[in-house]
């Protein structure tokens, strides 16, 4: 069973990734806690709770680096749809309370529409329950540095779901609509770089970077930098775990 964990704020000198766990299944919560406690030199668990209300209190007090949550959470019994909506609301509220906190979903839900909803709510990673502990840990590491993390199977399904509404019937997409410079910018977005960092690295103005980002999203019919990063990772098939 999970012991009560005193919420804390880590100092920059600590150097560990602070993690909050939210899952209303006790066995799943115990399992994730054990995985992270076995790597205490790298991760610090600031809370392991079963309700959204408790999680939001800890987020407000501790500002964790990463929150790991199941998509299906709630304070009390409810329909699956209500539980999923509670999970999506939790993601949105976590991002509102602490914009620097990254959210990774670890869930048994495999439907592309649910994954897409989690991404649109603000999650930067999605891992199926039952995957290896190392894959979960890698998702936390990448989230912490601002990178998107999905297994290739998830990435491909999600990309198809995200792009489907923008496709006209019978319309063929260009195989590569981006210019070489836009592809450079897209790769740096996927690496978690900010507009200013991209401008510095490519030695161009931040206004030019913003224009490139807008053109990239327009050309590949996506809505955010996170979706653009996912697109790059799906197309390039790099920095994603293999079976």
Q: Which pLDDT score is estimated for 222?
A: 77
pLDDT tens per residue, range 188-214: 888 778 888 899 999 999 889 999 999
- In CATH terms, 12-150 corresponds, of 3.30.2350.10, 3.30.465.10, 1.20.200.10, 3.40.50.2300, to 3.40.50.2300
The answer to whether residues 129 and 69 touch, using CB atoms and an 8 Å cutoff, is no
State the CATH class of domain 174-236.
Answer: mainly alpha
Q: Which pLDDT score is estimated for 12?
A: 46
Residue ranges, comma separated, of all CATH 1.10.10.10 domains in the chain are 174-236
Q: Which pLDDT score is estimated for 42?
A: 95
Q: Which pLDDT score is estimated for 159?
A: 67
The DSSP result for the chain, as a single string, is -PPP-------GGG-PEEEEEE-S-HHHHHHHHHHHHTTTTTEEEEEEESSHHHHHHHHHHH--SEEEE-SS--SS---HHHHHHHHHHHHHHHHHH-TT-EEEEEES---HHHHHHHHHHT-SEEEETTS-HHHHHHHHHHHHTT--EE-HHHHHHHHHHHHGGGPPTTPPPPS--S-HHHHHHHHHHHTT--HHHHHHHHT--HHHHHHHHHHHHHHTT--SHHHHHHHHHHHH--SS---
**Other beta carbons less than 10 A from residue 168's beta carbon:** 6
Closest by alpha carbon to 148, among 161, 157, 138, 160?
A: 138
Q: Which pLDDT score is estimated for 10?
A: 47
Residue ranges, comma separated, of all CATH 3.40.50.2300 domains in the chain are 12-150
Q: Which pLDDT score is estimated for 101?
A: 95
In order along its 243 residues, the chain shows pLDDT tens digits of 444 455 444 444 578 999 999 998 888 899 999 999 999 999 999 999 988 889 999 999 999 999 999 988 765 556 667 777 888 899 999 999 999 999 999 988 888 778 888 888 889 889 888 888 999 999 999 999 888 887 777 777 766 666 554 444 444 445 568 898 998 998 888 877 888 889 999 999 988 999 999 998 888 887 777 778 777 766 664 344 444
Bridge partners of 64, per DSSP, are: none
Residue appearing with tokens 């999605």:
126
End-to-end CA distance of the chain: 31
Q: Which pLDDT score is estimated for 192?
A: 76
Q: Which pLDDT score is estimated for 167?
A: 42
Q: Which pLDDT score is estimated for 166?
A: 47
How many angstroms separate the Cα of 71 from the Cα of each of 86, 123, 136, 193?
A: 8, 10, 15, 27
């Amino acid at each position: 069973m999970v012991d009560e964990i005193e919420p804390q704020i880590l100092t920059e000198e600590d150097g560990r990734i602070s993690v909050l766990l939210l899952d209303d299944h006790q066995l799943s919560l115990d399992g994730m806690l054990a995985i992270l406690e076995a790597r205490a030199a790298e991760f610090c668990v600031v809370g392991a709770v079963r309700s959204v209300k408790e999680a939001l209190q800890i987020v407000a007090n501790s500002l964790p680096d990463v929150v790991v949550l199941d998509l299906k959470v709630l304070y009390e019994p409810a329909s699956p749809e209500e539980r999923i909506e509670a999970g999506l609301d939790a993601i949105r509220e976590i991002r509102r309370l602490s914009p620097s906190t990254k959210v990774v979903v670890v869930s048994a839900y495999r439907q592309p529409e649910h994954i897409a909803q989690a991404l649109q709510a603000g999650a930067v990673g999605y891992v199926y329950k039952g995957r290896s502990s190392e894959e979960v840990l890698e998702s936390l590491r990448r989230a912490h540095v601002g990178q998107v993390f999905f297994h290739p199977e998830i990435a491909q399904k999600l990309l198809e779901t995200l792009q489907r509404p923008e496709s006209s019937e019978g319309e063929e997409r260009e195989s590569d609509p981006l210019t070489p410079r836009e592809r450079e910018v897209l790769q740096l977005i996927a690496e978690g770089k900010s507009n200013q960092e991209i401008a510095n690295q490519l030695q161009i103005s931040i206004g030019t970077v913003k224009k490139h980002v807008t053109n990239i999203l327009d050309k590949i019919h996506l809505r955010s930098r996170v979706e653009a990063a996912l697109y790059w990772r799906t197309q390039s098939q790099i920095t994603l775990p293999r079976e």
